Structure 1
Amino acid sequence: MLRTVKPRNARSKRVLEKREPKVIENPKKTLFLRGTSASELVQTALNDIHSLKKPLTIKFTKKNAIHPFEDSTPLEFFSQKNDTSLVLFASHSKKRPHNLTFLRTFSHRTLDIFEFSLDPDTFLPLSAFKNQKPIIGMKPMLLFCGAPWDSNARLQALKSLFMDFFKGPTVDRVDVEGLQYIIQFSTPEIPPQTEVAGEAGPAPKIHIRAYLLRSLRSGQKLPRIELEEMGPRMDLTLRRVREPEDEMWKEAMKKAKKVEPRTKKNVTMDVMGDKLGRIHTGKQDLNKLQSRKMKGLKRGKDDGEMVVGEEDELVEKVKKTRRE
C-alpha cells in the first residue's frame, strides 16, 4: 500500500491538488530508468524513445536494482513521487538480454506490464539517419499495420499500451503543419491456432518504424506527401506479460459523466459536419384553422354546408324548444 501524504504547507497542498483525479486528466508523463546492468544497445533505444516523447518525460540516470515482474513496488513509488503514469525500464542479463519493459499504472498502481526483447541485428538509432528530426512536443500519427492488431486479444492490449505511450497530449484541433512524423507498428500474421489468448505459440514480433512527412510540389493545390525514415528502427519480440486485474481494468476504463456529451434527440450531423434537426408536429386539423374573416369566404346554405357558427346556433334553438 502507498502511504497517503498530508501537505505541510500551501505549496505542497497545491502540488497534491494538481495530482488529484480530474474530469479532464493531465497529459500522461513517462518515467525512463535503467536497471543495475543495461547494455549499450538498450540504453541507446531508451534515449531515442525519450527524445521522441519530450517534453512529457522524466529520465533517471542512476542504476536501480528493480525487477518489475518480481516486485513492481519501487516503480509504483517512483510513479507516485514523480506523477508519471507510464514507465519504460531498460535492463540486460544473460537470461534476458537487451530487455525493454513497458509498464502502465492506474492511480499509481501497476495496471499491466509488457516485456520485450530488442533485436540487436536490425536496430538502428536516431543518429544513424542523417536528416531533420521533428520539433519537440509534436504529436505523432500512429499507424498499426496487420490484421492481428484487431483480432488477437494479446495484441489488442498491446495496441492500447502503444497508443497511451506515444499519443502525447490530447488536443481539440491539430494544425496541418504540426503533422510532422508518423510511427508505424506492424506485425506478421499469426496462425489461427495461436490467436486464442493464453494458447501456446510463437511470440509475436513487433516492427517499429518512424517516418518524416515531406510535402513536395505536385502541380496542384494539394502537395505530394512522401515518407522518409528518420529512426529509430526497432524490432521487439514479446517475452512476458502481466495482464491487468479485471476489477482494476474495469475501474480504469470508467468515464466521468461530465465528459460524455449528452445525446440530443432528433439532432444529427451529416458527412459535411452540418447539424440537422428533426421537428415533430401533431396532426393538424384544418377545420380549426383560424383564417381571415371575410364574408366572401363564408359558405352559404346552398353550398350544402353551414356557415361557421351556424351549427351552434341551431343546437341552441333545439334546446330552447325542448325546454318550452
Structure 2
Amino acid sequence: MLKVKTPKKGKARRELNKRAPKLVETGKKTLILHGTKTSNVLNSVLTQIYHLKKGSAVKYSRKNADIRPFESGGETSLEFFSLKTDCSIFVFGCHSKKRPDNLVIGRTYDHHVYDLVEVGVENFKSMESFTYDRKLAPKVGSKPFIAFIGEGFENVEELKHLKEVLLDLLKEEVVENLNLAGIDRAIVCTAISSNRVLFTHCALRLRKSGTIVPRMEMVEVGPSMDLVVRRHRLPNESLRKEAMKTAKDHPKKKVKNVSQDSIDGKIGKVYIPNQKVGEMVLPNKSKGVKRERREGRRKNEGDDHASKRQKEDTE
C-alpha cells in the first residue's frame, strides 16, 4: 500500500486546502507553454495571451520536447505541469512545416487532460501595431465583455467546442453584479466560415447618450488574429458526466420558533424571560436619585431650622 504523507507545516496545509475542491470554485488559472520549435509570431501570440490573462496565468519560457497533446503518452509532462502550478487550462504553442504557428488550447479535469482544440494563427497583429489614445488602454485584470458572432458557433461542432474553450480561457471569475463604469474592454469572436474565427480585442469608451445608460464605442487595441480550427478532441461521455457533477448545497439549518402560515406568512414566536424589575439595583449616578437626595437634604435642613426656632422661642 502507498503511504500517504500528511503535511506537517501550516503553510503546506493551507496550500493543500486552497487546491481542494470547493462548493463555489474560484477563477481558473492558465498555463502557457512552448514546444520544441516556435516562430516569432507564435512567441508574440503567447506573450499577448499572457498579458490578457495577467494575474491568473503562469508562463514557462523553456522549450518542452516531450509534450505532444494529441499523442498517447505525450500528455504526461503536461499533466505534471498542470498539477505543479494548479492550472486547469493550458495554451501550448508549437511550429512545424506541416502545422505552422500551431496553438493547442485545452482543459484538464483533476489534472488530467479533458479536451483539446488545435488552431492555426494567421494574420496576427500585436498590441503595439495599433495606434490609439493610451488613456483608453484596458486595465490589467479587468473583466471583459465576450461576444460570439455567427451561426457557426451554434451549428458547427468544431466551432461550438472552440467557443466553450475560449469562454473558459477568457471569462475570468464568475460574478453576480458588475459595475458598468468598470467595464473597459470587449473580446469579439466572429465566425467567418465553418473553420475560421476572427479574434479581436477592443477597448470600450463611454459616451453620453441622454439617458442613464451611456453609449459605448469600441476602439480596437489588439491583439487581432484569425484562428483556423485544425483538430479537436472531445472528452469521453463518462468523463464528461463525472466532470459535470455539482455538489449539493449545504442543507439549511432548522430555524427554531418560526413557522409558515398560508395567510399571515412567516410567523415567529418570541419568548421574553422574567425581567425581575423589583430586584434590579439602580445606579447611584442616575439623575432621579440625585434629585431625591437633594430634595431630602433640603427637607432635613428645613426641619433642623424649624426645631432650632422652636427651642429659641421656648427659652
TM-score range, shorter chain: 0.7 to 0.9
In the alignment, is the contact (CA less than 8 A) between 1:147 and 1:189 conserved in 2? no
Contact 1:37 1:92 in 2 (8 A): yes
Deviations 1:142-199 (A, max 9, x none): 1000112122233222211111100001222111122111101111354xxxxxxxxx
Q: Any unmatched runs of 5+ in structure 1?
A: 191-203, 262-278, 282-324
Residue 139 of structure 1: aligned partner: 143
- Residue 167 of structure 2 is matched in structure 1 by 163
The question of 1:103 aligning with 2:94 is answered: no
CA contact (8 A) 2:92 2:104 kept: yes
Corresponding residue of 2:129: 128
SS of aligned partner of 1:228? strand
Equivalent residue runs for 1:30-109 within 5 Å? 30-65=30-65, 66-70=67-71, 71-109=74-112
- Taking a change above 3 Å as real, the CA distance of residues 211 and 155 of structure 1, as seen in their structure-2 partners, is same
- Aligned-CA RMSD value: 2.3
Is the alpha carbon distance of 1:225 and 1:36 closer, same or farther for their aligned partners in structure 2, counting shifts above 3 Å? same
Structure 2 vs 1, CA of residues 129 and 5 (structure 1 numbering), >3 Å: closer, same or farther? farther
Sort the Cα spacing of 1:12 and 1:207 in 2 relative to 1 into closer, same or farther, 3 A. same
Quote the Cα distance in structure 2 between the aligned partners of 1:150 and 1:220: 34
Give the direction of change, closer, same or farther, for the CA distance of 1:251–1:128 in structure 2 (3 Å limit): same
CA drift at 1:248: 1.0
Query: Take 2:251 and 2:154, find their aligned partners in 1: how far apart are those partners?
Result: 25
What are the residue-to-residue correspondences of 1:131-280 with 2, within 5 Å?
A: 131=132, 132=134, 133-188=137-192, 190=194, 204-258=195-249
* Aligned AA (1:150): E
The reply to whether residue 25 of structure 1 matches residue 25 of structure 2 is: yes
Larger radius of gyration: 2
Residues 107-141 of structure 1: CA deviation (Å, up to 9, x unaligned): 1110001111111xx21011111333211110111
Paired residue for 1:292? Answer: none
Q: 1:97–1:117: 8 Å Cα contact kept in structure 2?
A: yes
User: How many aligned positions are there?
Assistant: 248
The aligned counterpart of 1:118 is 121
Q: Is the 8 A contact 1:86 1:104 kept in 2?
A: yes
Instruction: Indicate the SS of the match to 2:200.
Output: strand
**TM-score by structure 2 length?**
0.73
Query: How far apart, CA to CA, are the structure 1 residues paired with 2:129 and 2:4?
Result: 46
TM norm structure 1? 0.72
Partner Cα separation in structure 2 for residue 280 and residue 50 of structure 1: 58
- Decide whether the 8 Å contact of 2:158 with 2:229 is kept in 1: no
Q: Read off the aligned partner of 2:220 and give its amino acid letter.
A: E
Instruction: State the shift of 1:6 in Å.
Output: 4.5
* 2: CA distance, partners of 1:228 / 1:260: 48
- Does the 8 Å contact 1:115/1:241 carry over to 2? yes
Q: Which consecutive unaligned segments of at least 5 residues does structure 2 have?
A: 253-261, 265-315
**Residue in 2 that maps onto 1:266:** none
Q: What CA distance in whole angstroms lies between the structure 2 residues aligned with 1:146 and 1:127?
A: 28
Contact conserved, 1:23 with 1:259, CA < 8 A, in 2? no
Distance 1:154-1:72 versus aligned 2 partners, 3 A rule: same
Cα displacement (A) at 1:29: 0.3
The answer to whether the 8 Å contact 1:211/1:227 transfers is yes
